[in-house]
Amino acid sequence: MSRGEHHRIHAHDRLQRNRLRIAQEAARLMSEHGIRDFHHAKLKAAERLGILEAQALPRNLEIEQALREHQRLFHADSQPQLLLQRREAAIEAMRFLARFEPRLVGAVLEGTADAHSAVCLHVFSDDPAAVELYLREHGVPIQAQVRRLRYSRDEQPEYPVLLFAADELPFDLTVLPRDALRQAPLDRADDRPMRRATLSQVEILLAEDDDDEFEQRLSAVLR
């Protein structure tokens, strides 16, 4: 092996080790400090580790995988119960919001929810104010924000977001037009269409809860 080839292999191995280190540190930050944004978590992790190479930044999917492993290793006693609590709360909220055809999204659906995770729902109405009015009529105090969702590099519209708490759990509702039922926005982890589950699908997921076969079960439910 030539000296140049040896250096190339060594540099590649070092880069891969740094990608793994950053992914693991980003997962720790997300789990223990409640950071929800993958990009922010990976930049903060790289800064803490003193790794300056842009090529060493892991993909969001690598961080999500590291987060699952971190939870399995360090929070196996608490995380499943926190996830179950949020899935049960999601079912109650989806029944309450049935007229808006809610879909469960995010960490509660994917199985990575922890003590910092909100129950995230997409709700659908061509009159966004109708959702807010419905909540207020039922005595739910809400905080309104906006959020950008990405459908492509050039299509990143803003949508209303309604935040509230119920039984000490945070809820996060993104209000979309009804035609958005046909096309999910892109997931921040892998740039594929976001997985979304109906009430009946979440009920099936909860009834068949078994972490060892989670991915196969989730894929089958959402097929």
Which class is 79-222 in CATH?
Answer: alpha beta
- Distance from C-alpha of 163 to C-alpha of 179, rounded to nearest angstrom: 23
Residue 219 reports pLDDT greater than 90: no
- Is 0.85 surpassed by the pTM of this model? no
Q: How confident is the model at residue 54 (pLDDT cuts 50, 70, 90)?
A: confident
Residue 223 reports pLDDT greater than 70: no
Mean residue pLDDT across the chain: 90
State what percent of residues in the chain have pLDDT above 90: 70
Q: How confident is the model at residue 209 (pLDDT cuts 50, 70, 90)?
A: low
Q: How confident is the model at residue 13 (pLDDT cuts 50, 70, 90)?
A: confident
What is the pLDDT averaged over residues 51-55? 89
- Distance from C-alpha of 164 to C-alpha of 181, rounded to nearest angstrom: 23
Half-sphere exposure for 163 (CA within 13 Å, toward CB)? 8
Are 131 and 173 a contacting pair, CB within 8 Å? yes
Q: How confident is the model at residue 214 (pLDDT cuts 50, 70, 90)?
A: low
Can you list the positions of beta strands (E) in 68-221?
A: 103-105, 119-124, 143-148, 158-166, 169-176
Query: Rg of the chain over CA atoms, in angstroms?
Result: 20
Q: How confident is the model at residue 52 (pLDDT cuts 50, 70, 90)?
A: confident
Q: How confident is the model at residue 218 (pLDDT cuts 50, 70, 90)?
A: low
- Distance from C-alpha of 198 to C-alpha of 214, rounded to nearest angstrom: 17
- List C-alpha distances in Å: 163 to 49, 131, 144, 146, 153: 34, 12, 6, 10, 27
Over residues 101-136, the pLDDT tens digits come to 999 999 999 999 999 999 999 999 999 999 999 999
Helix or strand or coil: residue 182?
coil
Are 22 and 45 a contacting pair, CB within 8 Å? yes
Are 107 and 64 a contacting pair, CB within 8 Å? no
- Structural domain boundaries of the chain? 3-74, 79-222
Task: Return the minimum-mean-pLDDT range out of 34-43, 108-117, 162-171.
Answer: 34-43
Going by C-alpha positions, the residue among 102, 106, 136 that lies closest to residue 119 is 106
Dig out the tokens for 51 from the structure.
Answer: 């790794």
Which residue stretches of the chain are H helix?
3-33, 38-49, 60-74, 79-96, 107-110, 128-137, 199-207, 214-222
